[in-house]
Structure formats: structure tokens, C-alpha cells
Amino acid sequence: MVHPLVVRITHWINAFAVLVLVLSGWRIYNAAPLFPFRIPSELTLGGWLAGALQWHFAAMWILGLNGLAYVIYGLVSGHFRRKLLPISPRAVLHDVLEAFRGRLSHDDLSVYNTAQRAAYLALIVALVLLVLSGLAIWKPVQLQELTALMGGYEGARIVHFVCMSIVVLVVIVHVVMVALVPRTLPAMITGKVR
Amino acid sequence: MSQKIHRLERRLFLKQTLSLGAIALLSGCDVTNDDQVQRVLLGMSEWNDRAQAWLFDPNKLAPEYPENLVATPFPFNAYYEEEEVKVIDETDYQLSLGGLVKERKPWRLPELYALPQASQVTRLICVEGWSAIGKWSGVRLSEFLQRVGADLTAKYVGFRCADDYYGSIDMPTALHPQTFLALRFADRVLPPKYGFPMRLRAPTKLGFKNPKFIQEIFVSNTHPGGYWEDQGYNWFSGS
């Protein structure tokens, strides 16, 4: 078994939630851009601000609850420790360079190389920070301590945007890698290597 | 945002929700899908109303800021352009009361100015994402509602405005100590563009839940909705 059932289920639910949240989030961003650019409307979800907000505030529950289940499972079952550790900056750098030379081995899909470990850890941390900064933006009065921790309301918007960018970047690399090593895709569906 | 853009955006909304929504949901393209997706999303929005009401702490105050952080000029925002702002004649103005209220005699502006006044320097957060700090002074809505004998166990407080805007808030928010009937901005009589003679200022709500040019306040147990809320924006929209 390459991927346990819990990981496969939460992976696909997470993929759906992140897709909806990113596309609707871009529409929300366009209503008051933080930076001097807009996202092309064709890439966004919701059609107008209210629609985008409806998608965003519906999908946030899916992301949050699914993510909570995944993190609890990862910690309690030892999945995180087994799959994501050990990790060192030197090993990450080594594997990233190897990946660019096309020399990274994927013989055993159940073992993540350190470049993968770093990417998945970054994704988990970025998603946790996205949820926290999202809560800080959504509830800057009720959760004002959290908002203060994020550098205030405007600070939380920046954290939210930066973490979104990290997630999008990791997902793009992730999807490219799946395209380069296609047998990883059925493994995330059936759990086995064909 | 101008009304025209909103109309255009609304038209695109149906189209895009159908196409992108269908892709996102990995489901077959069915015309009824759009209605189904909309029903689910509105259901989630109502769920979010309940979640936010549960999360609302009546004793939690919005952070206050030093006065030197007040934004100048404070941004204008409405469903129309700034040139179209209505200028209300203060001699004609009267505030009427309706619904579950005992004393329904209309109020004149000098009577409102004569009530005990309070001030706040708080951040107004727009549903669009931008925010600005402002100083508002006026009458606590809770004190006003008590004074006119409103049924404080009712669910909603509604507002009708001179610019045809309308809105409503939940009673716990109406009774929050920072929810004001604001009569002044930055120590001066509220200028027309910020809602002269009187607007709502509730820092526990998003900006569009703070109606300007208030002409009528009513207390009700029937959901009064609101200008933006009836078009799909979340009703509770608490901060």
C-alpha cells in the first residue's frame, strides 16, 4: 500500500476545496486588490463578489474540517513522522538539484524523497496559516487576538495572500511532477502501484 | 462599485457559476446544476449566519485606535457614485419608528443631538476587503432602543434610508455597546457623503451593514433582509 485510505480521501477532498478557495479567492482579491495587479476574471470563480464570497465561505468548512481530520490522523498514526521526517536543509537542496537533473528516483512511491518532504511540509504549514489568517480576516473583532498575531487586519490580508501564493506554487510543481511520473496518479486513487 | 458593473457582474455570475462550478464539482453539465449549486451555496450562507451568531460575543469590543490614525479623506462608498449623494434638509428631517416599539413619535434632529453622546475610533472593514479607521460619535443604539420602549427580545432591527438603501441587523449586535446611531464623523456633523444626518456605526459588522441616511428604524421578528443581502451577500456579515 503506497497511500493509506485516509490520506487518499483527504487528499482529493483537499484538492477540491483548495481549487474552489483559490479561484473564488482571486475574485474576492479583485474587489480590492492588495497589490497593483488583478487576476484575469476568466480564472476566477463566482462571477461577482457575492458569488465568490459564497463559494469561499462554503469551501472553507470543507478545507478546515478535512484538514483537521488529516492533521489529527497524521499526528496520531505516526504518518507525518514516518513520511515527512527526517528532513534537513542539505538533503532538501541535494534532492532539488537532483530533480532538476532528472536523476531523482521514484522507485518506491511509498517513500518520499526530501524534496517531496519539504514541498508537502511547506504545503501543510501554508494551508494551516491560510486557515488562521483567513479566520483573522473573517473575524477581526471576535478573534482579535489571532488578528493581532497576524499583524492586524491588513497584515492578515498579506499573510493570506503570501500563503495562497506558496500553495499555488507547490500545487503547480506537484501537478507537473505527477505529469512526469504518471504512475503516481493511480497510486493516489487506488492506493496501490499498478 | 457602480450599479452598472454590478448588473453586468450579476449576469456573468450565472454563466460562470454554471461553467466553473460544474468543472470544480467534476459533475456533468446539467442546466439545473446552476440552481442546485445556488441552493447549496445559499444554504451554506444561512449556516454561516448561525455560526457567526454563535461566535458573536456581546461583551467583546472592537479594537480602538489612536485618533491620529483616522483616515483622511475617509473613503466614500455606496451603491452609487459620490456625485449622486443625497443632501438631506435638516429642517424637514425626521426619524420615524416602527414595528415592536412602544413610543413611535418621530424624532427631530435637535432631539437626537440632545441625547447622551459617545465616541469610537474603530476600523471600518468593507466586504470588498479594504479597511479604514474613522472616528464616529453619536447615540448608543441600545440606549435609544430602551428609551423608545423597543422589544429587546425581538430578533431584528431594520433600517430604511433616504437613498433607498435598506438593511437589518440581529438584536445582540444592536445592543452591543459600540453600535451607534452616528451623528458626527471626526468631531464634525456627519457630512452628506458619510450619511447625513444619521448613519449606523457597528464595528462588529462589515461596512455595508452600516446604513447611511437613516429615516426609519423598526424592530421585528420577521427577517427584513437588506439591499446587498437580498442579492446574495451574507446577511450576518459580522467581524
Tens-digit pLDDT profile for residues B16-64: 554 555 555 444 444 345 889 999 999 999 999 999 999 999 999 999 9
Q: Does A193 touch chain B (CB under 8 A)?
A: no
Q: Does A139 touch chain B (CB under 8 A)?
A: yes
Contacts of B127 in chain A (CB under 8 A): 31, 49, 53
d(CA A64, CA A70): 10
Q: Does A163 touch chain B (CB under 8 A)?
A: no
Closest-approach residue (CA) in chain B for A148: B63
Size of interface A-B (CB pairs under 8 A): 106
CB A70 within 8 A of CB A79: no
Of the candidates A49, A141, A153, the beta carbon closest to that of B131 is on A153
* Whole-number percent of chain A with pLDDT over 90: 86
pLDDT for res B30: 41
Q: How far is B10 from chain A (nearest CA, A)?
A: 6
Closest-approach residue (CA) in chain A for B228: A50
- Tens-digit pLDDT profile for residues A22-57: 999 999 999 999 999 999 999 999 999 999 999 999
Contact B233 A53 (CB under 8 A): yes
Q: How far is A34 from chain B (nearest CA, A)?
A: 8
pLDDT for res A108: 84
Q: If DSSP codes are grouped into helix, strand and coil, which group holds residue B175?
A: coil
Contacts of B238 in chain A (CB under 8 A): 139, 141-142
* Whole-number percent of chain B with pLDDT over 90: 85
Interface predicted TM-score (ipTM): 0.92
Mean predicted confidence (pLDDT) in B154-180: 98
Terminal C-alpha separation, chain A = 11
- Tens-digit pLDDT profile for residues B203-229: 999 999 999 999 999 999 999 999 999
Mean pLDDT, chain B, integer: 91
pLDDT bracket for residue A100 (50, 70, 90) = confident
Contacts of B31 (CB under 8 A, 6+ apart): B18
Q: Enter the pTM of the model.
A: 0.90
How many degrees, rounded to 5, is the angle at CA A105 between CA A103 and CA A111?
A: 150
pLDDT for res B173: 98
pLDDT for res A149: 98
Q: If DSSP codes are grouped into helix, strand and coil, which group holds residue B70?
A: coil
Contact B48 A51 (CB under 8 A): no
